Copies of this chain bind each other. A is one copy, B any other.
Amino acid sequence: MYNYKMTIAYDGTKYNGWQKQTGAPLKTIQGKLEHILSLCCNQEIQLIASGRTDAGVHAKGQVANFHTNEYFEPQSILDYVAQYLAQDVAILDIKVASERFHARYNAKFKTYEYKIDTGLFANPFTKDYCYHLHKNLDLEAMKQASAHLIGTHDFASFTSMKSKKKSTVRMIADIKIEQQNNIVTLSYRGDGFMQHMVRILSGTLIEVGIGERTPQNILEVLEAKERAKSGPTAPANGLCLVDVEY
């Protein structure tokens, strides 16, 4: 058994997310990659990713691993896949990993970026990678609000996950908020993010930025442990998984 670790980038615009779906497997990143890798390796390949990404969400550094019975040169896998893969998905790196490496269980930190284009017109060249919101964002207020989110908290208010059995406690190590020209980038680094968590955090911080919430209000939202108290789920196209650390 050989275990391969891949780093993958994708423009998620045209996909129903990472996770393979029975109805239309090739409309997902996982389904598309598994299909080509299975042909390449002449056996059924199953990918284990660091986590799912939603429909329309992008990645610059998704990580996934897969096992093969036979040994293949990493470069020969790349060369094969490059012939057949659509241009909106790219394998940035592939190497043989230790037998025990597991892309989901071994992930220590993930970094997501959420981008907002605040221009009157969206930048045509990044329109698929930014949420277009022509409003002035008060970055200082957003930074104050984000400080309340850093650390280990119960983020039950910031997920659309319905299960009451699973823990909703997560640790956010850092949130950076930066502006370059019209583009505001919210960068989150943490030990794990639940379904829609980064988009709900971003929707809530945007409400702080436009003055619809105070930075202090974030404390009440955390305390409530109730989805209804946080802001809207910001649109998928602004979100990108940029890094997974092991």
Contact = CB atoms under 8 A, between A and B. Distances in A.
A124 to B, nearest CB: 4
Interface residues of A, number: 26
A96 interface: no
Contacts of A122: 87, 90
A91 interface: yes
Number of copies: 2
Interface stretch (A17-25, A77-85, A102-110, A222-230): A77-85
Contacts of A58: 124-125
B11 A87 contact: no
A95 to B, nearest CB: 15
Nearest to A134: B82
Contacts of A10: 124
A11 B88 contact: no
Contacts of A32: none
Q: Which residue, A10, A60, A87, has most C-beta atoms of chain B within 10 A?
A: A87
B85 A121 contact: yes
Contacts of A85: 121
Interface in A180-239: none
A33 to B, nearest CB: 12
Given A11-B127, A125-B129, A127-B11, A120 B88 contact: no
A127 to B, nearest CB: 4
Nearest to A117: B87
Nearest to A124: B11
A160 interface: no
A123 interface: yes
A89 interface: yes
Nearest to A130: B87
Interface of A: 9-11, 58, 60, 78-79, 82, 85, 87-92, 119-125, 127, 129, 132, 134
14 contacts: A9-B125, A10-B124, A58-B125, A60-B125, A78-B120, A79-B120, A82-B120, A87-B121, A87-B122, A87-B124, A87-B127, A88-B127, A89-B121, A90-B122
